Copies of this chain bind each other. A is one copy, B any other.
Amino acid sequence: MSKDNIMKLTDGLFHRVFDEVAAEYPDIGTEHQIVDIGAARLGARPEGFDVIVTLNLYGDILSDIASEVAGSVGLGGSANVGPSMAMFEAVHGSAPDIAGQDKANPSGLLNAAALMLTHIGQGDVAARLQNAWLRTLEDGIHTGDIAGPHTKEVVGTAAFAQAIIDRLGQEPGRLSAVRAEAASRIEVHLTPRVRATKALVGVDVFLDWTAHERHPGRLAEPLQAAAGERWRLDMISNRGVKVWPQGLPETTCADHWRCRFLWQAGDAPSHADVLALLGRVAGEGLDFVKTEHLFTFDGQPGYTAGQGQ
């Protein structure tokens, strides 16, 4: 899942790399969903999902939705596996407000431990643990966070763990039992990538500017003077929306302006050309607070147009 219909470059890069990696595994089916409707479907019909590949922030949200709809965020275990190291933890945070009160559901950590045991080749131990855990849930012995109509006894952390220990060797009756997986160590393969050819073509200069009642046309005047012969003022945007040239007077402008200069003097500009431009911008009395250099990568722009441009 991504939001690459809007964040075309950042989420778009993620989607493109996903497609590249997917092509290396043609026997695994894939489907891309926009994260807003994908999150909605996950909440309403979780049975339609298997593995979700997504960006960090979305994964943070989606993993909580998936865990909660399955019963509780207290249930989910998590594996973080890289090329040379792996780390296993509960999906949820540390919840310091209930620390030491014998209240927390230990299921998340136990399921993380099961993932770890499987990863290091002890799938039989993991299955034994998870089957005892499923049997405990099935017997209606629950911590407070998952208590419901099928609960027979609400217990604390220690009593829940003891109930699982008491059932080691047993299997669930109605739920599906976990079968030991012999070798399911996750191997991360990184395909070497060729570095793209990068070429500097412009610079976005961000200004803090409130003069002349924030009228973009008045800002364009000193910027065009600063551009000189070799740079060209291409656009001014405010909060992502193009306000010059030919902006809409209705656009509410904040203090923070993006002013895009493109190089138009043949060969790529040097760092000195960028600094000379910035010096002239400052010389016009303008307060630049940030710069983003604009590059093409293998000829493709690594930056987006302003909204409305």
Contact = CB atoms under 8 A, between A and B. Distances in A.
B69 A44 contact: yes
Contacts of A250: 85
A210 B3 CA distance: 30
A3 B61 CA distance: 10
Nearest to A68: B40
Identify which of A36, A39, A293 gathers the most chain B CB atoms within 10 Å of its CB. Answer: A36
A278 interface: yes
A272 interface: yes
A290 interface: yes
A275 interface: yes
Chain A contact-residue range equals 35 or more
A238 to B, nearest CB: 15
Interface string A50-94: 000000011011011101110001000000001001000000000
Given A198-B208, A290-B291, A291-B290, A73 B275 contact: no
A287 B41 CA distance: 45
Interface in A280-299: 282, 287-293, 295
Contacts of A210: 195
Nearest to A36: B64
Contacts of A65: 39-40, 43, 65
Interface in A252-309: 252, 271-272, 275, 278-279, 282, 287-293, 295
Assembly stoichiometry (copies)? 2
Interface string A188-211: 000000010010000000001010
A275 B282 contact: yes
A174 B289 CA distance: 59
Given A36-B64, A271-B282, A293-B289, A3 B57 contact: yes
A71 to B, nearest CB: 9
Given A43-B69, A198-B208, A271-B287, 16 more contacts: A3-B57, A3-B60, A35-B61, A40-B64, A40-B67, A40-B69, A43-B68, A61-B61, A82-B252, A85-B250, A195-B210, A271-B288, A272-B282, A275-B278, A278-B278, A288-B293
30 contacts: A36-B61, A37-B64, A37-B73, A39-B43, A39-B61, A39-B65, A40-B43, A40-B64, A40-B65, A40-B73, A43-B65, A43-B69, A44-B68, A44-B69, A58-B61, A61-B61, A65-B65, A82-B252, A271-B279, A271-B282, A271-B288, A272-B282, A275-B275, A275-B279, A275-B282, A289-B293, A289-B295, A290-B292, A290-B293, A291-B291
Interface of A: 3, 35-37, 39-44, 57-58, 60-61, 63-65, 67-69, 73, 82, 85, 195, 198, 208, 210, 250, 252, 271-272, 275, 278-279, 282, 287-293, 295
**Closest 8 A-B residue pairs measured CB to CB?**
A43-B43, A40-B68, A271-B282, A40-B64, A36-B64, A44-B68, A291-B291, A40-B65
